[in-house]
A and B are shown apart, each in its own frame.
Chain A
Amino acid sequence: MARFLDYFEPRLRQFNRLISRNKIFKERLWGLAVISPELAVNYALVGPNLRASGIDWDLRRDEPYSVYPELNFEVPVGRPECGVVGDCYNRYWLRIREMEQSARLVRQCLEKMPEGPYWNKSKKKLKPPAGEVYVRTEAPRGELGFYLISRGEERPYRLKIRTGSFSAMSIVGKMASGLMVADMVALISSLDVIAPEIDR
């Protein structure tokens, strides 16, 4: 794993040099589909899409869970130097920064990981107490939320998985008006809307 990271980080820098400052690339993405902070909050965007619009919110830092309090990382936010705050270029740039941060996090985890078995021997059948709960984590595409209602039996009464792509999908329709066909590709991929993930 450490060897992969050693291989990956220079590669990332190389790709960055190749594409990020390329004039053609910037022409395609700069100032495209600007999502203002108010619009982002109104449409319930999450994750990198939200941060690229200038709002500084990251579940790993603001509602930490599992081992995150012990890890040291930065949260990149959209900046005006990398395109209009909230445009495609900012979203792209943010994701590159997040990749770098991920590499950093993985390295810290590798150092801190204790010895021992890695497989959790869980019980075959779980019987949670009756009630409902909503748990959210920060996945690469945004907030991954699980909403579970149980009535105290083995099977859940209701389980809904809400992903970052689901939130981002709603804004595609609004942003797409007035764009060219080629820009649609840029818009959808910068928002990172993955069709199978929308309806888990």
Chain B
Amino acid sequence: MESLVNLLLRDSALFQGLGYGLTAALVMFVCGFIVVNFFGLMAGVYIFLERKVAGWTNSRRGPNRVGPYGLIQFVADGVKLLLKEDVIPDQADRPFFRFAPYPVLLGTVLSFVVAPFGPKLIIGDLNLGLFYLLATGSFTVIGLIMAGWASHNKWSLLGGMRSAAQIVSYEIPNALAFLLVVLTAGTMSVQGIIGAQAGGIGRWFVFSSPFAFAAFFIYFISAVAEINRIPFDIPEAESELVSGYNVEYSAMRFAMFFAAEFGNIYVVSAAAVTCFLGGWQVPLTGGPEDLAGLGRAVGQFLAWPVLQVALLIGALACFFLTWRAGRGFALDLKRKLPRFTDRLVRVNSELGLLALLFGGTGLILALHWPLRPYLAGIYAFLFVYLVPFLVFFIKAMAVSFVILWWRWTLPRLRVDQLMGVAWKYLIPIGFFCLLGQAVWLILFRSPGTAG
């Protein structure tokens, strides 16, 4: 199916005459740029969300002073980590110490290549999509072992070894769950799997059979273990190993471990949503064609004169709210500005944010008037590309909210119990589900359905 890489290479009117090498390099650069930026953004969002959710589950508010509602907190964290002193222990193994964060980071960033956002919104639709996800997941292990060894610290070594053992053993239930999905869908390509779940909530793989339902939980548990989150975070447990394999790391190197962990939360929840929860399939529609039709219908509906008037009134209301919020923000700014050198000054930036939001909405509503004739086309485009994107995001955020939630609910598993869960419970049940799903498909899937 389509993907960004194909898009760039096909519409190569830009690239004609540039030759193969240069074209390839440009495409790689663009895709890499998008991937790394998105990863950074996601890591930042999760850092912020984690602290907010942590606060809420502890009956307190998370960070809310740094920007409007604390949204710029992750920027502040990043800047702080950048400015810290980079300490390398005296007896540490320098080349390995320096190199160790990079495989960990790579493992995460590379997985974004197959992260699907919409019908054609994917960087590269490999036909080995799920297998690629598994492979990049194991990339992290070598980095962790290097980090544990190179720190020249018994506790880091212990943490690194345990982490490696944990990740390697939890890859098996992970793979078993993926195998089940591949069996049901018939393809390893990510877009293919999502395509096989088209047609409403009932077609999601998680509901296709009780075995798949169990496999969803098996996948979820093994994914949480893969990314070293509670209840499986012995390698980085604060009270037991003083942060395990990354204890000797400071500043930017630590930031890389940190960001990789949070980016991994996104990758893992995106994979769960893709495989089991229907990916970007919007619940009540059957696929991109349905969405396009819906979009056109909505566009034509909105071009109706009565609704145009209603939209204009809405735009006016938004502008009024913008004015009120903006005025409040500006008054506040004026009052505080002379004291701007005061370290504790805090402007009511939420009002500024609200002003921006209302202004944007007002602008969008107002634009409906001049764009009357094109509304059908615009809405078709939006419905085909934007709505699945939002749906995917909401689903992935819901799954990752559960991962963040678990952190504050469950105590840690001891290392041998952790391994016990993997080898004694998840793997046998995983095999059982796989066989059960195969039997189920033979019995209940009519031949010739979704290849």
Decide if A and B touch, CB cutoff 8 A. Answer: yes
Asked if B410 is at the interface of the complex by the 8 Å CB criterion, the answer is yes
Rounded to whole angstroms, the CA-CA distance of A46 and B359 in the bound complex is 68
Chain B residues closer than 8 Å to A28, beta-carbon distance: 411-414, 417
Who on chain B is nearest to A29 by CB?
A: B411
Minimum C-beta distance from A30 to chain B (A) = 11
Query: Interface code A4-42, partner B: CB below 8 Å = 1, 0 otherwise?
Result: 000000000000001100101101100000000000000
Chain A residues closer than 8 Å to B413, beta-carbon distance: 24, 27-28
- The stretch from A55-63, A78-86, A138-146, A175-183 touching chain B is A175-183
Are B411 and A180 touching (Cβ within 8 A)? Answer: no
Chain B residues closer than 8 Å to A182, beta-carbon distance: 234, 237, 240, 412, 414-415
Task: Known A22-B410, A22-B411, A24-B410; judge A181-B240 contact (CB<8 A).
Answer: yes
- Interface-centre pick from B231, B409, B411 (highest chain A CB count, 10 A): B411
Asked if B134 is at the interface of the complex by the 8 Å CB criterion, the answer is no
Rounded to whole angstroms, the CA-CA distance of A183 and B237 in the bound complex is 13
Task: Known A24-B231, A27-B417, A181-B158; judge A19-B411 contact (CB<8 A).
Answer: yes
Chain A residues closer than 8 Å to B85, beta-carbon distance: none
Q: Which of A165-200 contact B (CB under 8 A)?
A: 180-183, 185
Are B240 and A180 touching (Cβ within 8 A)? Answer: no
Who on chain B is nearest to A28 by CB?
A: B414
Chain B residues closer than 8 Å to A180, beta-carbon distance: 414-416
Asked if B449 is at the interface of the complex by the 8 Å CB criterion, the answer is no
Interface residues on B, range: 10 to 19
Asked if B341 is at the interface of the complex by the 8 Å CB criterion, the answer is no
Asked if B91 is at the interface of the complex by the 8 Å CB criterion, the answer is no
Q: Is the interface of A mostly helix, strand, loop or mixed?
A: helix
Query: Interface code B220-241, partner A: CB below 8 Å = 1, 0 otherwise?
Result: 0000000000010010010111
Minimum C-beta distance from A83 to chain B (A) = 15
Who on chain A is nearest to B155 by CB?
A: A181
Chain B residues closer than 8 Å to A18, beta-carbon distance: 409
CB within 8 Å: A-B pair count: 34
Are A185 and B240 touching (Cβ within 8 A)? Answer: yes
Chain A residues closer than 8 Å to B158, beta-carbon distance: 181
Rounded to whole angstroms, the CA-CA distance of A24 and B413 in the bound complex is 6
Are B411 and A183 touching (Cβ within 8 A)? Answer: no
Rounded to whole angstroms, the CA-CA distance of A180 and B237 in the bound complex is 15
Are A183 and B414 touching (Cβ within 8 A)? Answer: yes
Chain B residues closer than 8 Å to A25, beta-carbon distance: 411
Rounded to whole angstroms, the CA-CA distance of A185 and B241 in the bound complex is 10
Chain A residues closer than 8 Å to B409, beta-carbon distance: 18
Who on chain B is nearest to A182 by CB?
A: B414
Who on chain A is nearest to B416 by CB?
A: A180
Minimum C-beta distance from B396 to chain A (A) = 26
Rounded to whole angstroms, the CA-CA distance of A25 and B411 in the bound complex is 6
Chain B residues closer than 8 Å to A22, beta-carbon distance: 410-411
Rounded to whole angstroms, the CA-CA distance of A25 and B231 in the bound complex is 11
Rounded to whole angstroms, the CA-CA distance of A69 and B412 in the bound complex is 43
Rounded to whole angstroms, the CA-CA distance of A19 and B231 in the bound complex is 13
Minimum C-beta distance from B217 to chain A (A) = 15
Rounded to whole angstroms, the CA-CA distance of A185 and B414 in the bound complex is 11
Minimum C-beta distance from A151 to chain B (A) = 47
Query: Interface code B78-119, partner A: CB below 8 Å = 1, 0 otherwise?
Result: 000000000000000000000000000000000000000000
Chain A residues closer than 8 Å to B240, beta-carbon distance: 181-182, 185
Chain A residues closer than 8 Å to B237, beta-carbon distance: 182
Rounded to whole angstroms, the CA-CA distance of A22 and B241 in the bound complex is 23
Who on chain B is nearest to A185 by CB?
A: B240
Rounded to whole angstroms, the CA-CA distance of A47 and B231 in the bound complex is 32
Minimum C-beta distance from B247 to chain A (A) = 15
Q: Which of A70-88 contact B (CB under 8 A)?
A: none
Minimum C-beta distance from A176 to chain B (A) = 15
Chain B residues closer than 8 Å to A24, beta-carbon distance: 231, 410-413, 417
Rounded to whole angstroms, the CA-CA distance of A147 and B283 in the bound complex is 75
Who on chain A is nearest to B417 by CB?
A: A27
Query: Interface code B394-427, partner A: CB below 8 Å = 1, 0 otherwise?
Result: 0000000000000001111111110000000000
Rounded to whole angstroms, the CA-CA distance of A18 and B410 in the bound complex is 9
Rounded to whole angstroms, the CA-CA distance of A180 and B415 in the bound complex is 9
Rounded to whole angstroms, the CA-CA distance of A195 and B198 in the bound complex is 61
Chain B residues closer than 8 Å to A181, beta-carbon distance: 158, 240-241
Minimum C-beta distance from B104 to chain A (A) = 23
Chain B residues within 8 Å of A, Cβ to Cβ: 158, 231, 234, 237, 239-241, 409-417
Chain A residues within 8 Å of B, Cβ to Cβ: 18-19, 22, 24-25, 27-28, 180-183, 185
List 26 A-B residue pairs with CB atoms under 8 Å apart, sorted by A's residue number: A18-B409, A22-B410, A22-B411, A24-B231, A24-B410, A24-B411, A24-B412, A24-B417, A25-B411, A27-B413, A27-B414, A27-B417, A28-B411, A28-B412, A28-B413, A28-B417, A180-B416, A181-B240, A181-B241, A182-B234, A182-B237, A182-B240, A182-B412, A182-B414, A182-B415, A183-B414
Known contacts A18-B409, A27-B413, A28-B413; 17 further A-B pairs (Cβ under 8 A)? A19-B411, A22-B410, A22-B411, A24-B231, A24-B410, A24-B413, A25-B411, A180-B414, A180-B415, A180-B416, A181-B158, A181-B241, A182-B234, A182-B412, A182-B415, A185-B239, A185-B240
10 closest A-B pairs by beta carbon, nearest first, are A182-B414, A25-B411, A24-B411, A182-B240, A27-B417, A185-B240, A24-B410, A24-B413, A24-B231, A28-B414
